[in-house]
Structure 1
């Protein structure tokens, strides 16, 4: 990590890529999906799940946060052996609402307390409302993201600090 980045490091954001739902078929009968997750200059990738349009990754990806105003871009691809990988849609979301909730004094709240709710809108890729919840001493946010630029598909992720 660059020294200038260490000076402005706010913390580590854990993005658990849970699963894909009803992803687009890009091979003959199925797809071999994986997800590239990008935040600022950082790029991480999940493993490829073979022959499954409803894959379960349950992979934790960690991003160092220096700017809470960044967005996270997820791009789903179909892995191909002999040709360029096919794009299967993308989605993005802001981490600002989650980061703002982190700044609140939440210690002492009962586990399961809803801190805030983000509604789906034209400005986000949420398929349904996303709640930021105080759970066992941590803030957790589950997001169901509707993929753009594709005929179908959603990706479920979870944020933790």
Structure 2
């Protein structure tokens, strides 16, 4: 599994359930990769088609291969409502380096309830052990031992 940084650009959602009685929903997203978690801004009165255009960074360092998005509705006087969730499998972006804006299905209780658009970019960590180091070329190599004979 490659190591590096995953940039998640949260773009928008559409078709979310607008179940607030007196006003439009105030959606936000909780993005989770392993133990790392980020929360988007709350889109006040955005309704079922919010726009975020926010960027989040995650450190990729092991074999976890999915990003979890949980869409919530911010409520002032009660517990926030769960609107749905999406799971993004990261293998394609880890191989390609980036994926353009893509719509992912949002599901709740195994039923389709909208979609969320996300763009992904993976930047691999440079492995220092494999890089060429010209300064250390003279130590312990052919040049050093060839002068002894």
How much is the aligned-residue C-alpha RMSD, in angstroms?
1.9
Check conservation: 1:20, 1:153, Cα contact below 8 A: yes
Kept in 1, the 8 Å contact 2:13–2:49? The answer is yes
Match of 1:108 in 2: none
Question: Which runs of 5 or more structure 1 residues have no equivalent in the other structure?
Answer: 1-7, 103-138
Q: How many pairs are equivalent?
A: 118
Higher helix share: 2
Structure 2 residues not aligned, in runs of 5+: 123-149
| Residue pair 2:68, 2:86 contacting (<8 A) in 1 also | yes
- State the Cα deviation string for residues 16-54 of structure 1 (Å, max 9, x = none): 000011211131242100000001010101000011121
Task: Give the deviation of 1:10 after TM superposition.
Answer: 1.4
Give the stretch that moved more between structures: 142-151 or 78-87.
142-151
Question: Which 4+ stretches in 1 moved above 4 angstroms?
Answer: none
TM-score, normalization by structure 1:
0.68
Q: TM-score, normalised by structure 2?
A: 0.73
Deviation per CA, 1:91-118: give whole Å up to 9, x if none: 101111211224xxxxxxxxxxxxxxxx
